[in-house]
Structure 1
Amino acid sequence: MTAVLAALITVFCLVRIRGPQPLFYFSYRLGLVFNEIPHVALYGLAASTTLAFVEGDIATAADWAAVALAAVSAAGLVVVARRGIRTAPLVRRALDEALGEGSSTRRRPPLARILLRPFFRRRGDVKRVRNLSYGDAGRRNLLDVYHHRSRPEGGPVLIHFHGGHFDQGRKDTQSLPMLYRFASKGWVCISANYRLQPAFSYPDHLIDAKKVIAWAREHAKTYGADPEAGVFITGSSAGGHMASLAALTPNDPAYQPGFEEVDTSVTAAIALNGYLGVYFDGDPTTDPTKLARPDAPPFLIAHGDLDELVPIENPKALVTALRSVSTSPVVYVELPGGHHAFDLFHSFRFEALIDGIEDFTAWVRERNRTT
């Protein structure tokens, strides 16, 4: 049974499944986890196979067939792991191509964290302040703040919005390895809920994003931030769409009812596995590609080439639109073997991408200091 499950996991990681809904859902959920941390499946496979040999359970032809299946699955999981490990040089290449040679930094991956503690996102030097209100929509207008326990002054701000198709999701689920890493480096990180469909729709999501930016500019100093050092916005999946729209509509009073005078511009935007096209009733104002502008901030867009929910052509369209008009750089990272929601765990893929995001934000901040 273990060998069969491992074989299914391997197939779901290596191949983008487009089958009946139950099969798609099952494959998506398994791939969501094991495509990022295939070594966990390898641990289980190795342990169960070893135990079977030790207990003398390998006797029949069927038993040996299971061993062969386990060996093939293990080889496939090694391929999955190698795809993740290949992310680091590709991220560095994308940064150097978009920002100039030498913009990226080679780092050693945190092997102990990836191999032994991929599920544990917390860090001892980071404090999380939960459920601060930024609006009047109850729990959907709550945010969490992550900051270094020593509260060093002058840190930049990183705002994150969760995914969930605009009708589900919450603030404490996605990109946590990135939020904790940046907070441990002295950033003040914010992860926010926002109003969801069907009770709310466009432009309510975008208005909430602007409210979070306004809240950060007013309150982040309490936690050690200096918005003048930079306000960066990011999001996963639908949150990537929100981050992109917010970045491309700075200070637009149509999306700032009651706080029209607040500066809601951002220093740069980062979209992770984002849906970046039109999403509401064909309304072009919900399509980031139609909002590309010469003064757009720098963008970093990262997407898996095996994303089950958002085809790779979708983010590429925004990359093309931005590069055709914007005077700011656009970094595009296509992740080999990456599925949707690659930002949940400490994996080779996501840790390498976080390294790249660190380099990207450092480059943007240095450019702003010198211009």
Structure 2
Amino acid sequence: MSLYRSLHPFDLVMASTRMYASLPVVGKHLEPFAGLTAMMMYGHHYAPAALRGMASRRLSSDAAEAAPADVPGEAISPSRGKRTPPYLRFRAQRQRCLYRSSVRYGDHPAQLLDVWRLPDLPPDAPVLLFVPGGAWVHGSRVMQGHTMLHHLVKQGWVCLTMDYRVSPVHRWPRHIADVNAAIAWARANVDKFGGDRNFVAVAGCSAGGHLASLAALTPGDPRFRGELTEDADTAVDAVVGIYGRYDWQDRSTPTRKNFQNFLERVVVGRSQSKHPEVFEAASPLARIHADAPPFFLIHGEQDTIIPVGEARAFADKLSAVSRNPVEYSEIHRAGHAFDLVDSSHARRLAVEVGRFLNDARARQLEGETAAAV
């Protein structure tokens, strides 16, 4: 039976993508096209606002370039046209930092991660697991987060960047189960690559920010463990949410209704009206508690895909409840995926994330020292 009383053309297209993705031998190679199809069919809802935002930021950038050098904020203004966008530098950054590629963190062919680290890394280095974004229909470790990961590796971190199973071929909660599987793998195995199993942080962009935040807030939730055994450790020591989606419940505006419809038809495969508990359980905003790990949230002021108000609301509510530090940073004139298109924003992100994570690591070491005395 269809999710809705009458079949929508979109449902027929999604059914066809799941059908060809399930074909023997070739199906696994066709899975990415199913996700791209879903993104294109829903992306037109966001295109006008995204184009207006790009034009506005371009005008702001031109004005900043013409402004005197002492204009406030000039040191972190958007990158000039002569600078190479980060998405064109990812191959070089990956080549410099990649230590081991396509390491399996589970039995499924999609459960792969890359290990980034220095060749002469001292033992027991802190660890960051990076979860890429892609609207829960694309989850590839290629390209995303590379400026941040490169910066952390140079500071002596072991960084893991992962693939995970995505919709519409794989329905929710497969995505979060894979993230938890990768965390559990790091807790059990990262010492083989020089990492400290006692300090594992998680970060993610966009949909990856949602998954990273949800995993951090719900360790041990049996709904999100997939094939993991009960004794698998999925707790994390710090979290970084980068232009993430934190609310899976709100339907108060046309834009929010459109997003919830996307979740229903493409990601979850269930109606929110009939299964509200599924969407509440998957919403980081609804899973906040006092024992949340340290959080750092960073968002672009001019994000037209995930409006900045959602990040502000999540940061405010988390700050009011959590016993651990909660930090929030807002980047002026930045849109969605700013770290892929703007070099200055990407560098700012890397520096701020590095500072936060190194502080979290230092607090943990101080606590271990105090406990041992």
- What's the TM-score, normalizing by structure 2? 0.70
The answer on 1:354 being equivalent to 2:325 is no
For residues 80 and 34 of structure 1, what CA distance do their matches in structure 2 show? Answer: 17
- Counting only pairs closer than 5 Å after superposition, residues 120-269 of structure 1 correspond to structure 2 as 120-121=89-90, 122-123=92-93, 126-138=97-109, 140-228=110-198, 230-256=199-225, 257-269=227-239
Identity %: 30
Range with bigger deviation, 240-249 or 214-223 = 214-223
Q: In the alignment, is residue 86 of structure 1 matched against residue 89 of structure 2?
A: no
Q: Quick one: which of 288, 291, 302 aligns to 2:284? A: 288
- Within the candidate set 267, 286, 303, 1:307 is matched to 303
8 Å CA contact 2:85, 2:341 repeated in 1: no
Mean Cα displacement is larger for which, 348-357 or 273-282?
Answer: 273-282
Q: How has the CA–CA distance of structure 1 residues 182 and 336 changed in structure 2, closer, same or farther, with 3 Å as cutoff?
A: same
Computed over aligned residues only, the root mean square deviation of the Cα atoms, in angstroms, reads 3.5
**CA deviation after TM superposition for structure 1 residue 134, in Å:** 1.4
Change (3 A) 1:290 1:171: same
Q: 1:335 aligns with which of 328, 331, 347?
A: 331
Aligned-residue offset at 1:169: 3.9
Native 8 Å contact 2:76 2:345 kept in 1: no
- Partner-residue secondary structure (3-state), 2:210: helix
Structure 1 distance, partners of 2:230, 2:67, is 48
State the AA in 2 paired with 1:137: H
Q: What's the secondary structure of 1:178's corresponding residue?
A: helix
Amino acid at match of 1:309: I
Q: Deviations over 1:118-151 (max 9, x none)?
A: 532434752342212212331x211111111223
Question: What code does the residue aligned with 1:327 have?
Answer: R
Q: Which moved more, 1:233-242 or 1:126-135?
A: 126-135
Query: Any unmatched runs of 5+ in structure 1?
Result: 1-19, 39-71, 91-110
SS of the residue aligned with 2:239? Answer: strand
3-state DSSP of counterpart to 2:160 = strand
Contact 1:151/1:223 (8 A) holds in 2: no
1:184, distance to aligned residue in structure 2 (A): 2.1
In the aligned structure 2, how far is the partner of 1:269 from the partner of 1:73? 31
Structure with larger Rg: 1
Pick one of 237, 240, 244 that aligns with 1:270. Answer: 240
Q: CA deviation at 1:173?
A: 1.9
Amino acid at match of 2:291: D
Q: 1:367 aligns with which of 363, 369, 372?
A: 363
Counterpart of 2:170 in structure 1: which amino acid? Answer: F
Q: Which moved more, 1:281-290 or 1:331-340?
A: 281-290
SS in 1 for 2:329: strand
Distance (Å, rounded) in 1 between the aligned partners of 2:161 and 2:295? 19
Q: Does 1:319 align with 2:315?
A: yes
Work out the CA distance in 2 between the residues paired with 1:180 and 1:346: 16
Aligned-pair distance for 1:293?
A: 0.5
CA contact (8 A) 2:60 2:333 kept: no
Question: Whole-Å Cα distance in 2 between the matches of residues 226 and 73 of structure 1?
Answer: 43
CA distance in 2 between partners of 1:236 and 1:24 (Å): 18
How far off is 1:182 after superposition? 1.1
How high is the TM-score relative to the length of structure 1? 0.70
Residue 93 of structure 1 is matched in structure 2 by: none
1:27 shift after superposition = 7.8
Q: Is the 8 A contact 1:125 1:184 kept in 2?
A: no
The whole-number CA distance in structure 1 between the counterparts of 2:60 and 2:213 is 39
Amino acid at match of 1:194: Y
Once the two structures are TM-superposed, the CA of residue 345 in structure 1 deviates from its matched residue by: 5.3
Contact 1:154 1:224 in 2 (8 A): yes
Which secondary structure does the structure 2 equivalent of 1:219 belong to?
A: helix
Separation (CA, whole Å) in 1 of partners of 2:224 and 2:68: 43
Give the deviation of 1:153 after TM superposition: 1.3
For structure 2, the residue ranges without an aligned partner over 5 or more in a row are: 1-41, 249-262, 368-373
The residue type equivalent to 2:104 in the other structure is S
**How far off is 1:314 after superposition?**
1.2
8 A Cα contact 1:251 1:261, kept in partner: no
